[in-house]
Structure 1
Amino acid sequence: MSVTLCDHWICINGVLYYIGKEDVVGGSYLIICFDVRSETFKFVEAECFRDPEATKLINCKGKLGGVDFKYNRASAIVLYLWILEDVEREEWSTYVYTLPVNDICENVVVVGMTSTGEIVLSEEYTSKRFYVFYFSPERNTFQRVEIRGPGEYCEAFDDDCRVYAFVDYVVDSKFITKQSS
């Protein structure tokens, strides 16, 4: 089988997951699973992904998940969440959520999922006010957090700059040096 890999991948519990597409006319989308310990591959059908290039693979409490979104007619974001419940039986669960219209900016991307189960979205480019958004499917809560930095007039930037956000990033304090006064 010949497969073209997409740029998205994630490692969960020692298994690398990639989105791929069979290299045949009308080829289906697949999740390619590579178990690092046993050095074995498994292929799982993933036709649930509407647009594999736009789907963000996430760690959904130890299970592989995929998140994608689209804007509906009211300019609200509709999130699609797929969770691979059983790799062997290739069973997926699908969930759909609509986020509040007035609280979301136009240029957001899915960043990932926190260890507590919140889906994180971030603005893709800087603006006068820069926001990160947290949606909890379990509690059905939505939170918008303003990040200070670009400044009221974006004086630090000539143009909007692309922003890369990361989920659950932790700084190792033993590598932080203290400045002497």
Structure 2
Amino acid sequence: MEDATTLMNYNGKLGLLMFDFFNGKSSGFEFWVLEDFDKKEWSDHVYVFPPVWQNVVEKTTLCFSGVVGTTEFVFVPNTLSGPFYVFYYNIEKNTVVRVGVRGMEAFEGYTVEAFSNHVENVELIRAF
């Protein structure tokens, strides 16, 4: 097991991603899912990034951000610098998609905390 882990809801079950940080030299990751709480049964999944991962990610240091649905793992840079990209790794198709986010230049050097599948209620709250 690695030194760092992230707990998440994975399709209604407890998921555990084994990781430190990811970059273009990373080959993949190990992912555990608690299949049966009472029996303490875990399933172990090892995902290997496709060869294009190295070219798409390059020297960017990434952190795991979450899962979209049950197939796309989301990675974001741990620090804002230069063009800002979010990376989606599809575990079924073994593909990587890099999506650029514009307008982040003013925050260069800041640490990134990203949450997948988070919806903020931006409805105006009125004071009476």
TM-score range, shorter chain: 0.7 to 0.9
Match of 2:66 among 100, 103, 112: 112
Whole-Å Cα distance in 1 between the matches of residues 21 and 7 of structure 2?
Answer: 20
Deviation at 1:144, TM superposition (A): 1.0
Question: Distance in 2 between the 1:176 and 1:133 partners?
Answer: 32
C-alpha deviations, 1:98-130, integer Å up to 9, x for none?
221111243211111123431111101001111
Q: Residue 85 of structure 1 is aligned with which of 14, 35, 41? A: 35
Matched residue type, 2:95: T
1:165 equivalent in alignment to 2:119: no
Bigger CA radius of gyration: 1
With 61-70 and 80-89 compared, the bigger mean Cα shift is at: 61-70
Residue pair 2:14, 2:33 contacting (<8 A) in 1 also: yes
Partner of 2:102: 148
Q: RMSD value over aligned CA atoms? A: 2.4
- Whether contact under 8 Å (2:2, 2:20) holds in the other structure is no
Structure 1 runs (4+) deviating above 4 angstroms are: none
Deviation at 1:68, TM superposition (A): 2.4
Gaps of 5+ in 2: none
Q: Which amino acid letter does the alignment assign opposite residue 102 of structure 1?
A: N
Q: Is the CA contact 1:133–1:143 (under 8 Å) kept in the aligned structure 2?
A: yes
Aligned residues: 120
Contact 2:65 2:75 in 1 (8 A): yes
Q: Are 1:70 and 1:77, in contact at CA under 8 Å, matched by a contact in 2?
A: no
Match of 2:56 in 1: 103
**In 2, distance between residues paired with 1:176 and 1:96?**
44
The TM-score with structure 1 as length reference comes to: 0.58
* Shift, 1:141, TM fit: 2.4
> What is the alpha-carbon distance in structure 2 between the residues aligned to residue 106 and residue 121 of structure 1?
11
Larger relative contact order (Cα-Cα within 8 Å, sequence gap ≥ 6)? 2
**Which residue does the alignment assign to 1:128?**
82
Q: Identity percentage over the alignment?
A: 36
C-alpha contact 1:71 1:77 (8 A) present in aligned 2: no
CA distance in 1, matches of 2:27, 2:63: 11
Given residue 130 of structure 1, which amino acid in structure 2 is its aligned partner?
F
Task: Give the counterpart letter for 2:79 in structure 1.
Answer: Y
Following superposition, the deviation at residue 172 of structure 1 comes to 2.6
Alpha-carbon deviation of 1:55? 0.7
